Amino acid sequence: MPTLHLDLGERSYPIYIETGLFSQTSFLLSAIAGKQCAIVTNETVAPLYLESIKANLRNNNISTFDIVLPDGEQYKTLAYLEKILSSLLENRAARDTTLLALGGGVIGDMGGFAASCYQRGIPFIQVPTTLLSQVDSSVGGKTAVNHPLGKNMIGAFYQPKAVFIDTNSLSTLPDREFSAGMAEVIKYGIMYDANFFNWLEQNLVALKNRDPDALRYIITRCCEIKAEVVNLDEKEHGVRALLNLGHTFGHAIEAEKGYGVWLHGEAVAAGMVLAAKLAAMREWLSPKDVLRIENLLKQFNLPITGPVEMNSECYINHMKHDKKVLSGTMRFILPTAVGCAKVVDDVSESELETLLG
């Protein structure tokens, strides 16, 4: 039985969260539409899981072909999207071919976007292998590629048929990638669930040791929150925007430094602190809560300041290209307490100059 269920009518799907899921020989079968599966992955993940998943599918009479991309945010581009689409064409993938996205957030975003485009939409499933993708990007149907002028500006809302999360995959995750994922975990506590934030503060040792029970809990709780929010607002017309806490500043950092130089979670961590400080400037958030946010991020070696060479002009230039801009107005998600945030569209450039220098 699925651990969670995202309820979107005919686009509803299960989210399975288990330890050792990949060792179950038929774990994917419930979500495979036809008799062919295209597996999109990267050069880091492929040696770990690709052959065993292909063998499982072949043993169940499903043919496979794979598309192995370079690993990194810098490859999340239209050029590499075209490589996926070309491979689908070369292998004569049909409308009932299932695309399986095996990897982190980059693979999930690109695989999902390719699935949304190919023959106007083929089934796809998410098999996320990084903490960041397991707690955030694999759930909710956001798919996209980056452009030099903005992150995730070219994409589509396209829901998977299922999400399969094996917490064992985190055992091979580099420390820096694990910490980047923790930034998104902490985000959920700041913007939605104060009790969850408190739990994170109280369970640092277990989390740093990647205790299986602790990991399963944080992944489940984050997916629960994401599902609750997406159920209310699938296409980000309202409450779903709160999930972008820290992202307006963070995307500016990524665009300025070059995609992949700062990991997404690292940029979001610095962005959340900037959002917290902006809220404190308005006296919406207490200095004590700003300090709690900073301290929790520092526990996972995450940055709490942006690049020293970025000034307000640099940030503002990038933020004006952010996908959350509406009618030329920049929008920010600001915390009003630990566990609560709101969308703000009246931030002046002078405020940003005071904040950013």
Predicted pLDDT of residue 127:
97
CA dist., res. 290 & res. 105, Å (int): 28
Q: Do domains 4-172 and 175-356 have the same CATH topology?
A: no
CA dist., res. 277 & res. 341, Å (int): 13
Residues classed as catalytic: 120, 142, 184, 226, 236, 240, 244, 247, 251, 264
Residue 209 DSSP symbol: T
For 38-57, write each residue's pLDDT tens digit: 999 999 999 999 999 999 99
Which residue's entry shows tokens 């500043």?
Answer: 249
Task: Name the pairing type of β-strands 36-42 and 98-103.
Answer: parallel
Domain boundaries, the chain: 4-172, 175-356
Angle between helices 349-356 and 312-319 in degrees, nearest 10: 130
Residue 102, pLDDT > 80, answer yes
Lowest mean pLDDT among 18-27, 105-114, 300-309: 18-27
Q: Which long-range contacts (CB under 8 A, 24 or more apart) does 18-24 make?
A: 18/165, 18/166, 18/167, 19/166, 19/167, 19/168, 19/212, 19/216, 20/166, 20/168, 21/164, 21/165, 21/166, 21/168, 22/49, 22/52, 22/53, 22/166, 22/168, 22/169
Residue 326, pLDDT > 80, answer no
Predicted pLDDT of residue 138:
93
Residue 133 DSSP symbol: I
Return the structure tokens found at 120.
Answer: 């106007």
Residue 341, pLDDT > 90, answer yes
pLDDT confidence tier of residue 325, bands split at 50, 70 and 90: confident
Residue 327, pLDDT > 70, answer no
For 121-130, write each residue's pLDDT tens digit: 999 999 999 9
Which of helix, strand or coil describes residue 65?
strand
Compute the radius of gyration of the chain from its Cα atoms: 20
Residues 6+ apart with CB under 8 A from 296: 186, 197, 200, 201
Return the structure tokens found at 122.
Answer: 């083929």
Break the chain down into helix, strand, coil percent, rounded to 5. 50, 20, 30
Q: By the 8 A CB rule, do 200 and 186 touch?
A: yes
CATH number listed for the domain at residues 4-172: 3.40.50.1970
Average pLDDT over every residue of 55-73:
95
Exposure string for 114-125, b = 16+ CB within 10 A, e = fewer: bbbbbeeebbbb
CB atoms under 10 Å from CB of 59, counted, come to 10
Residues 6+ apart with CB under 8 A from 225: 188, 192, 193, 196
Query: What's the CATH class of domain 175-356?
Result: mainly alpha
For 210-260, write each residue's pLDDT tens digit: 999 999 999 999 999 999 999 888 888 889 999 999 999 999 999 899 888
Which residue's entry shows tokens 């955030």?
Answer: 136
Specify the pTM. 0.93
| H helical segments located in 128-258 | 131-132, 175-191, 194-202, 204-208, 212-232, 247-257
Average pLDDT over every residue of 81-95:
97
Residue 22, pLDDT > 70, answer yes
